[in-house]
Structure 1
Amino acid sequence: MDTIIRHRWFGRMGRAAALVLGLVAAAGAARAEGTAVAPDASACEIHRALGRELPPECKTRGLDMPFDAADAPATREAVFTIEFALNSARLTAQGRAVLDKVAEVMKYPGNAGAKFVLKGFTDASGSARGNLALSKARAEAARLYLVETGGVPAAMIMAEGLGETGLLPGLPPNSPRHRRVEILADYRG
């Protein structure tokens, strides 16, 4: 499993420049722009990618800008590439470890009022209809884990399946790296 974070800023950004951290699979599947994050991303790295506000333990002396809600992005997207076995929606131990960190970010008080959308994807093996159902099951497996084990309120999280519609560029259609869950954080209220 590779944990890779893609971070997009949408909506009003004030004076801040748009910062795009692309998701790059360790096997070399590159997005248009991007920075690969280690498979064992820290909670602070996940906060930076998905959260609205950094907790004190993630702030570095002199390097973090003061938080200004008016300039904060309306949505952020982080991609956690949690590989699933072929035709499976069962989370791996590594996937659960990543989702434990994601749950802490979702529950952080600075992210209150956010809604999170979990988007499940598959590779191109199998039928389009079957892949759509499987991708929904993958997103739902991550959602249930976040709610039941991570303690995230269910009302904060939606799950949707997108099947094979989000194949990563530069990889064969049946690559296991396509089997993943992406998370969109919406702070628009």
Structure 2
Amino acid sequence: MPLGPNPSECEIQAALLGVTDPSCPPMRLQRPPALPPGTASPEAAQPTPASRPVPGPVALPPLPGPVAVPVPELRAAFRVEFDFNSAHIRPESRAILDKVAAVMTAPAAGTTRFRVVGHTDRVGGDAVNLTLSRRRAAAVVDYLATHHHIGRERLEASGMGARELLLPDQPAAAANRRVEIINLGG
């Protein structure tokens, strides 16, 4: 889930841990997709209670045993600025990484492990972008470990290059150049 340019610690906590501190305001991180102008909402297409047929009895088959419910993956994408063709984190991006570190070191995070994934735009060749994305992810891991004393055993770095563009129809867009952090569990 891409977060805005300056997410709060509460938003980061919700995206990476699935919970927020009790002091956080209630929030809703995902909005339903906007409908094109002139399109009725799905609820408007439903029949009114007076026009709905009354259902008869329904026979349900016996339920099978317990079913494993997949746990939603907790992840967030952040716009982390780097110098051109470099893994040097720009000073203006340290504030966002400081908020991420505050969430990672909060008691709610416990011993949770995280994967830091670097992404690039499509400018440049595949091999160069893959190497650059890996170097940038490693730089973020290094920053979190060095400046915030997050154990390196809780962090791993990987790079995707330009394989998973956020905006595939705009391959050179700055939004494609991001760092994604994925909760790997405890």
If the length of structure 2 is used for normalisation, what is the TM-score?
Answer: 0.70
After superposition, the CA RMSD in angstroms is: 2.4
Matched pairs, number: 146
Kindly tell me: are residues 56 and 145 of structure 1, through their superposed partners in 2, closer, same or farther at Cα, counting changes over 3 Å?
same
Which of 58, 62, 74 is the matching residue for 2:24? 58
1:76 is aligned to 2:89: no
Find the counterpart in structure 2 of residue 140 from structure 1. 138
* Cα offset, 1:86, TM superposition: 3.2
Kindly tell me: are residues 52 and 168 of structure 1, through their superposed partners in 2, closer, same or farther at Cα, counting changes over 3 Å?
closer
Question: What percentage of residue pairs aligned between the two structures are identical?
Answer: 36
Find the counterpart in structure 1 of residue 31 from structure 2. none
Find the counterpart in structure 2 of residue 49 from structure 1. 15
Structure 1 residues not aligned, in runs of 5+: 1-5, 7-22, 24-36, 64-70
CA distance in 2, matches of 1:103, 1:159: 15
Find the counterpart in structure 2 of residue 3 from structure 1. none
Find the counterpart in structure 2 of residue 107 from structure 1. 105
Match for 1:43: what amino acid? E
* Cα offset, 1:139, TM superposition: 0.4
The answer on whether the counterparts of 1:84 and 1:179 sit within 8 Å (CA) in structure 2 is no
1:39 is aligned to 2:39: no
Structure 2 residues not aligned, in runs of 5+: 28-68
**Secondary structure of the residue that 1:129 maps to in structure 2?**
helix
* Cα offset, 1:113, TM superposition: 2.4
For residues 14-25 of structure 1, the aligned pairs below 5 Å read 23=2
If the length of structure 1 is used for normalisation, what is the TM-score?
Answer: 0.69
* Cα offset, 1:172, TM superposition: 2.3
Kindly tell me: are residues 142 and 99 of structure 1, through their superposed partners in 2, closer, same or farther at Cα, counting changes over 3 Å?
same
Find the counterpart in structure 2 of residue 93 from structure 1. 91
CA distance in 1, matches of 2:170, 2:115: 27
The answer on whether the counterparts of 1:52 and 1:110 sit within 8 Å (CA) in structure 2 is no
Find the counterpart in structure 1 of residue 149 from structure 2. 151
